[in-house]
């Protein structure tokens, strides 16, 4: 079995021109798999390997390794068996039907309350882009951007939900936003904070400046330079313009404000179920991912408030004055 692995190693290095470290990783993965087949399943040839053997091996790896590691090892095995098929050694790839483990997407970097406030209240730096013609249109654009930032943080909308809003979805009289066709085609009502409501009122008073004179009625709430619905990419560009004047050391996307809203509410005592409803998560387990971001906050609260956690100002032992007491 090892001889076949060495032939595959040569193929990777010469025919595919992969880097030495990559080739070494493939080879290492396959040697470990071969050892498992020989010692645990009693197999001595690759022709004897079946789908069940691969699945059993992957199941064992899932208990001890990271998902990214398991996915890489599975990719090595699949590539090797594809090579064996092309060589005419086996009729089919026994690993072809084995699914790679779903990778968990890490949450965006957590924004503090001060950082979120600073971002929402920041002024854009529009270097390299043409300004709107006319002061009125520029003021309308600024009001639009301000309303979008406030709404992202206030209501925790996904950026796709933000650009999908129509004028009729904003219920200023009820302090609510109606989200239609959210993720999974689900609709929901979310609260509208006072700051966001004021920003939306200011924008609505200037929105007509973004419509061409010959344009008809446009249902979209947030408009682009041509008077049509804004895109998600435009929202990211807008956010980048606001970030230029700030000192945040990492890349921030629109979803960072959605995640900030969730963590800040949880830190302030909101219950998980309510936050789930606002975010539009189908499963409570999805919302629970935000709780790990509040651990530092909880520890600080605990250390400050719990009588057995408060550290005394003087850490010296009682009676310790530098001399031994009799």
* Number of other residues whose CB lies within 10 A of the CB of residue 214: 6
- Does residue 326 sit within a domain? no
Closest CA to 96 of 109, 79, 113, 110: 79
Asked whether residue 156 falls in the same domain as residue 267, the answer is yes
Catalytic residue check, 86: no
Asked whether residue 249 falls in the same domain as residue 133, the answer is yes
Asked whether residue 187 falls in the same domain as residue 262, the answer is yes
Asked whether residue 21 falls in the same domain as residue 149, the answer is no
Catalytic residue check, 237: no
Asked whether residue 74 falls in the same domain as residue 145, the answer is no
Asked whether residue 54 falls in the same domain as residue 156, the answer is no
Cβ(224)–Cβ(231) below 8 Å: yes
Catalytic residue check, 144: no
**Which range marks the domain in which residue 10 is found?**
2-86
Asked whether residue 238 falls in the same domain as residue 155, the answer is yes
Catalytic residue check, 89: no
Q: 252, exposed or middle or buried, with CB in 10 Å at 0-12, 13-18, 19+?
A: buried
Asked whether residue 204 falls in the same domain as residue 82, the answer is no
**CA gap 292, 259 in Å, rounded:** 12
Catalytic residue check, 258: yes
- Does residue 302 sit within a domain? no
pLDDT of residue 144: 95
Regions of the chain with pLDDT less than 50: 314-326
Whether the model pTM is above 0.85:
no
DSSP 187-253: -EEEE--HHHHHHHHHHHTTGGGGS-TT-----BSSB-TTSSBPPHHHHHHHHHHHHTTS--SS---
Number of domains in the chain: 2
- Does residue 202 sit within a domain? yes
Asked whether residue 139 falls in the same domain as residue 200, the answer is yes
Which of the residues 158, 207, 242, 264 is marked catalytic?
158
Asked whether residue 38 falls in the same domain as residue 117, the answer is no
Cβ(177)–Cβ(192) below 8 Å: yes
- Does residue 196 sit within a domain? yes
Final residue in a domain of this structure, among 71, 86, 101:
86
pLDDT of residue 154: 93
- Does residue 194 sit within a domain? yes
- Does residue 98 sit within a domain? no
Per-residue pLDDT reduced to its tens digit, 115-146: 999 999 988 776 655 555 678 888 999 999 99
Catalytic residue check, 302: no
Task: Output the domain CATH number for residue 28.
Answer: 1.10.150
Asked whether residue 124 falls in the same domain as residue 236, the answer is yes
- Buried b or exposed e, range 120-136, using 16+ CB within 10 angstroms: bebebebeeeeebeeee
Which of the residues 41, 126, 195, 255 is marked catalytic?
255
Closest CA to 179 of 164, 193, 198: 164
Asked whether residue 163 falls in the same domain as residue 45, the answer is no
Cβ(25)–Cβ(73) below 8 Å: no
- Does residue 106 sit within a domain? no
Closest CA to 24 of 41, 47, 5, 43: 5
Which of the residues 183, 226, 244, 292 is marked catalytic?
183
- Does residue 121 sit within a domain? yes
Task: Output the domain CATH number for residue 219.
Answer: 1.10.443.10
């Amino acid at each position: 079995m090892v001889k076949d692995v060495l032939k595959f190693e040569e193929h990777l290095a010469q025919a595919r021109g992969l880097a030495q470290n990559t080739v070494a990783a493939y080879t290492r993965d396959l040697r470990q798999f071969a050892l498992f087949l020989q010692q645990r399943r009693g197999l001595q040839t690759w022709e004897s390997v079946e789908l069940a053997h691969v699945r059993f091996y992957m199941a064992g790896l899932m208990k001890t390794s990271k998902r990214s590691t398991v996915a890489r090892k599975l990719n090595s095995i699949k590539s090797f068996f594809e090579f064996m098929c092309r060589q005419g050694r086996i009729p089919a790839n026994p690993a072809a039907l084995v699914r790679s483990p779903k990778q968990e997407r890490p949450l965006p970097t957590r924004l503090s309350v001060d950082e979120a406030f600073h971002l929402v209240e920041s002024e854009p730096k529009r270097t390299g882009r043409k300004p709107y013609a006319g002061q009125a249109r520029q003021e309308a654009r600024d009001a639009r951007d301000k309303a979008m930032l406030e709404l992202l943080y206030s209501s925790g909308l996904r950026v796709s939900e933000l650009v999908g809003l129509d004028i009729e979805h904003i219920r200023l009289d009820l302090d609510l936003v109606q989200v239609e066709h959210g993720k999974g085609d689900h609709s929901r009502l979310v609260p509208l904070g006072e700051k966001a409501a004021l920003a939306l009122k200011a924008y609505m008073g200037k929105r007509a400046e973004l419509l061409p004179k010959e344009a008809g009625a446009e249902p979209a709430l947030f408009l682009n330079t041509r008077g049509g619905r804004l895109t998600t990419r435009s929202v990211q560009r807008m956010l980048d313009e606001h970030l230029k004047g700030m000192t945040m050391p990492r890349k921030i996307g629109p979803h960072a404000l959605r995640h900030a809203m969730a963590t800040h509410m949880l830190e302030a005592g909101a219950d998980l179920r309510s936050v789930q409803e606002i975010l539009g998560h189908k499963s409570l387990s999805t919302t629970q991912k935000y709780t790990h971001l509040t651990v530092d906050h909880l520890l600080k609260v605990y250390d400050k408030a719990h009588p057995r956690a408060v550290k005394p100002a003087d850490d010296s032992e009682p009676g310790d004055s530098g001399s031994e007491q009799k």
